[in-house]
Amino acid sequence: MKVFFTLFMVWSLFVPGKNSFPVPAVAKAAPIKTGAEQTEKYLPYLKGKRVAILANPTTVIGKTHLVDSLSRLGITIVKVFGPEHGFRGNASAGVVVGDETDPATGIRVISLYGKKNKPSKEDLADVDIMIYDLQDVGCRFYTNINALSRLMEACYENNKELLILDRPNPNGYLIDGPILDMKFKSGIGMFPLPMSHGLTVGEFAMMANGEGWLANKVKCKLKIIPVANYTHDMAYTLPVSPSPNLNTQQAVMLYPSTCLFEGTYLNHGRGTLFPFTVIGSPELKGKYEFSYTPTSIKGMAETPLFMNQVCYGLDLRNYDVEQLRKSKQVNLKWMMELYQASPYKEKFFDSSLSREMGVIERLAGNALFRKQIIAGASEKEIRQSWEPGLSQYKLMRKKYLLYP
């Protein structure tokens, strides 16, 4: 009887009634606010100044482009600089982009992915302050941080301050891969970072300054508007596709793993409406049931590998990316599996055949990765070869974090 009475009293505490304790309300997490959205923190700083912006379609406040928003708020924008894919994002990967006048605003747009890759002295002569606001996806081989570093150098050389409006890294939870061996420095890897670096662009800029990565080890004068209510482990769905071939959230989350296939003789979805989420080739017929056919798509991939040929392979469009978040690792099993399935292993890593971005050494960041896959090394052995560099990077990274 005593036991029954005790249980009844405990139960009554949690049942609504005149004697029950009130149930505390669960605090709702404050919404993430990008640097650009916090106009109150930087508008006063821009008033009366001639402003230039490095921008693309991700440079938005809500659904409105930052250039349009600032113009309406009375800020004088004298010019816009456009990165790879162009200011309006309508150029394919790797395609040279020319200067133009933006038809929507009449503002002069200077391409940094054409005849030059950073602003000249003349470009910045009538500029008081430069703004950088591009969405990144947290990978060494995604070229936005290269554009940022060159912009930092130009600002230093011309005594201009750089205002960075920071944005979340959708792969901020992920710090993995070999550190780039600088022998393989290229346009898809300029800094000694792992494949997935776990930084926002603001944190990267601080690291580039602090580690002496800019030309002649110069230090750019920075002002950063951090993201509000953000931590690196937070899931973040991008409001705008960061580039034409990263056109879904699934592609963005798979990109740290599937971009490695740019260095193979496989199609990884270029020439489809779901790049970076399918991988295959005609030579895998009979090995896989799933198939797709790459075609020419203007603004995405106009001459994709295996164009108009049926490719067989992996369909990752419904892969549970939470598995990546839980493991905090890039997926190496797909590369290992497809190499073993390939009937022509001698050309698996021949990216000169694939007409894609570059060789596997530049993407992986070292000379070992190709050899390890060919030799059938285990995932554990491959990961062990990334040390101690990866652990040393993680320790160094802590000095530059703006967010938990």
Do 82 and 101 meet the contact criterion of CB atoms below 8 Å apart? no
* Gap between the terminal Cα atoms of the chain: 52
Which three-class secondary structure state does DSSP give residue 67?
Answer: helix
Q: Which helix (H) or strand (E) holds 209?
A: helix 201-210
Residue 22 has pLDDT above 80, yes or no: no
pLDDT of residue 92: 59
Provide the residue ranges of all domains of the chain, joining segments of one domain with +: 39-225, 249-366
> Phi/psi zone of residue 248: left (φ > 0), alpha (ψ -120 to 50 degrees), beta?
beta
Tokens of 49: 């100044």
Residue 369 has pLDDT above 50, yes or no: yes
pLDDT per residue as tens digits for the range 254-310: 999 999 999 999 999 999 999 999 999 999 999 999 999 999 998 888 999 999 999
How far is residue 73's CA from residue 329's CA, in Å, rounded to a whole number? 43
Which three-class secondary structure state does DSSP give residue 227?
Answer: coil
How far is residue 73's CA from residue 85's CA, in Å, rounded to a whole number? 27
Residue 89 has pLDDT above 70, yes or no: no
pLDDT higher at 93 or 148: 148
How far is residue 271's CA from residue 395's CA, in Å, rounded to a whole number? 40
Tokens of 131: 């703004």
Determine the average pLDDT of the residues in 76-88: 86
- Decide: residue 229, CB within 10 A, 0-12 exposed, 13-18 middle, 19+ buried: exposed
How far is residue 170's CA from residue 235's CA, in Å, rounded to a whole number? 7
Percentage of residues in the chain having pLDDT higher than 70: 90
Which three-class secondary structure state does DSSP give residue 370?
Answer: helix
pLDDT of residue 14: 37
Residue 23 has pLDDT above 90, yes or no: no
Superfamily designation of domain 39-225 = Uncharacterised protein PF07075, DUF1343 (3.40.50.12170)
pLDDT of residue 102: 84
Nearest to 162 by CA among 194, 195, 118: 118
Nearest to 253 by CA among 326, 185, 356, 302: 326
Tokens of 308: 């108009």
- Decide: residue 149, CB within 10 A, 0-12 exposed, 13-18 middle, 19+ buried: buried
Q: To which residue do tokens 């600089």 refer?
A: 81
Percentage of residues in the chain having pLDDT higher than 90: 80
How far is residue 167's CA from residue 147's CA, in Å, rounded to a whole number? 16
How far is residue 66's CA from residue 39's CA, in Å, rounded to a whole number? 10
Q: What is the DSSP code string of 307-345?
A: TTS-EEEEE-TT--THHHHHHTS---HHHHHHHHH-S-G
pLDDT of residue 93: 61
Phi/psi for 102 (5° steps) reads: -65, 120
